Amino acid sequence: MRWMAIVLAVAIWMGCTEHAQRQRDHEETGDVLFESYEVDMTWGYRLSGFYIEKDGSVWTYEQSDTPWYPEHLQPGELFSRDLVTKHKNARQIGKVDPVQLRDMAQLIKPASHGPIAHAAGSNAGDGGLDVAYLFDPETSIYYEVILAGRGNRVAMNRAPEAQILRDYLEHVKELVQPEPERP
How far is residue 22's CA from residue 109's CA, in Å, rounded to a whole number?
12
Region 28-56: mean pLDDT is 90
Say yes or no to pLDDT of 132 above 90: yes
- What is the pLDDT at residue 20? 44
- What is the pLDDT at residue 65? 78
Full-model pTM: 0.80
- Strand segments, DSSP code E, in 71-140 are 77-79, 91-95, 116-118, 127-136
Region 25-32: mean pLDDT is 75
Region 101-106: mean pLDDT is 96
- What is the pLDDT at residue 17? 39
Residue type, 154: V
- What is the pLDDT at residue 61? 94
Say yes or no to pLDDT of 66 above 90: no
- What is the pLDDT at residue 76? 84
Task: Show me where the domains of the chain are located.
Answer: 27-176
* Alpha-carbon distances of 3 from 10, 28, 49, rounded to whole Å: 10, 40, 47
- What is the pLDDT at residue 177? 76
How far is residue 167's CA from residue 115's CA, in Å, rounded to a whole number?
18
- What is the pLDDT at residue 143? 93
Give buried/exposed letters for 93-131 (b at 16+ CB in 10 A, else e): eeebeeeebeebbebbbbbbebebeeeeeebeeebbbbb
- What is the pLDDT at residue 183? 55
